Amino acid sequence: MNIVKAWIRSFAPANRKEASDSIVDNLLLHWFPNKVFRRSYAFSYSFWLGTIAMSLFVIMAVTGVILMFLYIPSVERAYWTMKDIDYVVSYGWLLRGVHRMAAHFMVAVVFFHLVRTFYTAAYRSSPKMVRADRRVNWIIGNALLILTLALSYTGYLLPWDQLAYWALIIGANVAQSTPVIGDTIKELLIGGTEIGQSALLRFYILHCIALPLLLTVGFVFHMWRIRKDGGLACVDSAVEGSGEITTEPASDKSYLLLGAPAETRYTVTTSAFLHPKNFIQGNPHVVKRVLWVFTGTLALTVLFACLLKMPLEAPANPAVAPNPAKAPWYFLWLQELIADTTVRIGSLTLNGGFIGGVLIPTVCVLALAAWPYLDRSPPQAIGVWFHRSRWLQNAVFTLVVLAILALIYVAAFLRGPNWILYPPGVPWPLEPPIL
Amino acid sequence: MHENPSSDTQISRRSFLRRGGLAAVFVALVGEGYAMLRSLVPNVLYERPKQVKVGRPQDFEEGGTFLEDYNLFVFKEKGAIYTISSVCTHLGCNVKLHLLPKPRTVELGGKRVSESFEFACPCHGSLFHSDGSVLKGPAPKALPRFHVALSPKDGQLVVDTGRQVDTEFRLTLSA
């Protein structure tokens, strides 16, 4: 009994001292801060999007390892192992469904996390915060979003169905459309000049090893930076707005007093922000929240995996592209851009694959990464939703997000066979005769 | 005469060895990195040959035939053979040949001709004229045409997908 107790003791602290000690004593709890600013904990401030994204990644890491035992990365067999997973393996459909659903959710949640961080100006630090610079963490976050998208892309290539094959063709040719280095990048990505076994193997290894490893390292770095930056940005806003107060000495703090007689009554003058009522214990409160958020995320993912149909298109057919051939929702805005941005200036033609597929996304990412360095709003805006001083940049950001959503809408609902634009409600015609 | 070892032009033995050691480590790491990256660029491609035999000319019908194994249209017109690739020049999807409801008159290569079909790409909506030139959409250039010859051995058509030719190219069959 004592042996068990010794192992689980730190998870059930009896008092504040044990709770604080547990953070230091337990490797798993060492992840969490001892004291957490109460507002950081509020759903209404952060919507817990980071915790949800982390939960989704853990769900995918676990289901992904099981799926690796069931899937064979071979162009002849990959598709049929997918069929086995869906129809033959016990609960295979559930594993694949949960993995797939979690992937879709993760793209959305990581994106919303970025949107939340932008609207709360949480990508900057108040000058009052010592040695803090959230701009670094913002850039790590941008990289994590790109890694999430790369994991999604490499993930849906693996079934080697029509969606996978033509996404790979288009992806490889977008890379190739880059001037000067395009051919080299394409060859390096697909291991040759044609889409085949070496391409599948490369994307399999990227999906199962390289990208998850990078994402894990980036995620740990992201968490560590949150601690170094003094917590969530709402801490900065509290510090900015905090005056001094004079109170009784706090019962859980030590004060060094030299030469004071034992019976002296004294008061402490401190920042109002530091008042103990503003803080909660990391253990058990934050630990519990993480566990609840994980459980809830898992429950929702399983529910949606059971409710929604899991698509698997026809086996990859190099002779016939689906008509219309559409990317998953989170890439549709890029597909729409790629289709619209071929530029002809005199005899010079720039392929839309490069403009819409490489140039515009690169500019977007660079602008995003540089934004906190250009944001000139006052420190009072940090950690506050929609601060008045940032109305213009919030409006610009909102317009870009809406433009992306509009492009996704057009590509998803208005593009018919041969990528022709059909207004809502107009039925798509039967295809013209094909030779 | 004794020189001061700490003068600007001289470095100590310890410093020299340290710099040399660091340089060696740097060279070794860069070399290893290059070797790993370079190993991922294949030296031998186990891919299909560029030259393919597609059958005897008399087996092709007058007009266009799509060879799905090679992503290639072979056209036979008035005793002459030419090919048009079905790989879209935009981002590589497979274009389809669509018969037009009725023939239309267009200007192709400076000549007014009547065309009865066009090529359409399902991925991003590029359209090509019957000669492969761009009609509309994001495709930056015309569908490529490949060199065709007759094999002296068995009389089959040999298409060289590694060798592009211009729109004038025809393989004239002797009757």
Secondary structure (DSSP) of B154-174: T--EEEEEEEEE-TT--EEPP
Q: Which residues of A touch B (CB under 8 A)?
A: 166, 169-170, 172-174, 177, 184, 187-188, 191-194, 196, 198, 318-325, 335, 338-342, 349-353, 357, 415, 417-420, 432-435
Minimum Cα–Cα distance from B74: chain A residue:
A435
Is A172:A199 a contact under the CB 8 Å cutoff? yes
- Provide the 3-class DSSP secondary structure of residue B151: coil
In Å, how far is B89's CA from the nearest CA of chain A?
9
pLDDT, average across residues B91-107: 91
- Please give the DSSP secondary-structure letter assigned to residue A249: P
Q: Which residues of B touch A351 (CB under 8 A)?
A: 90-91, 138, 140
Of A3 and A117, the structure prediction assigns the larger pLDDT to: A117
Position B6 pLDDT exceeds 60: no
Rounded Cα distance between A367 and A369, Å, is: 6
As a three-state string, the secondary structure of A354-415 is HHHHHHHHHHHHHHHHHHHHHCCCCHHHCCCCCCHHHHHHHHHHHHHHHHHHHHHHHHHHHE
Q: Where residue B5 falls among pLDDT bands split at 50, 70, 90?
A: low
Q: Residue B156 has what pLDDT?
A: 93
B contact test, residue of A75, A173, A195, A359 with most B CBs within 10 A: A173
Position A45 pLDDT exceeds 80: yes
Q: Where residue B8 falls among pLDDT bands split at 50, 70, 90?
A: low
Rounded Cα distance between A286 and A120, Å, is: 21
Burial class (CB in 10 A: 0-12, 13-18, 19+), A210: middle
Is B170:B81 a contact under the CB 8 Å cutoff? yes
Position A264 pLDDT exceeds 90: no
B31-64: pLDDT as tens digits: 999 999 999 999 999 888 999 999 999 899 898 9
Q: For chain A, how are helix, strand and coil distributed in percent, rounded to 5?
A: 65, 5, 30
**Which residue of B71, B123, B138 is in closest CB contact with A325?**
B123
- Provide the 3-class DSSP secondary structure of residue A41: helix
Q: Which of B123, B125, B122, B146 is nearest to B135 (CA)?
A: B125
Question: Could you tell me the CA-to-CA distances from A317 to A164, A430, B54, B73 in Å, in that order?
Answer: 10, 22, 20, 17
Q: Residue A361 has what pLDDT?
A: 96
**Which residue of B127, B138, B140 is in closest CB contact with A340?**
B138
**Which residue of A170, A318, A420 is in closest CB contact with B91?**
A170
Q: Which residues of B touch A174 (CB under 8 A)?
A: 91
Own/partner long-range contacts of A76-81 (Cβ < 8 Å, ≥24 apart): A78/A158, A78/A159, A78/A160, A78/A200, A79/A159, A79/A160, A79/A161, A79/A315, A79/A316
pLDDT, average across residues B13-35: 96
Q: Residue A435 has what pLDDT?
A: 45
**Which residue of A170, A319, A434 is in closest CB contact with B98?**
A434
In Å, how far is A42's CA from the nearest CA of chain B?
45
CB pair distance less than 8 Å for B71 and A319:
yes
Q: With residue A244 as reference, give the H or E element that holds it.
A: strand A244-247
Is A239:A126 a contact under the CB 8 Å cutoff? yes
Is A216:B66 a contact under the CB 8 Å cutoff? no
> Is residue B94 less than 8 Å (CB to CB) from chain A?
yes
High-pLDDT (> 70) share of chain A, %: 99
CA A139, distance to chain mean position in Å, is: 13
**Which residue of B40, B42, B122 is in closest CB contact with A417?**
B122
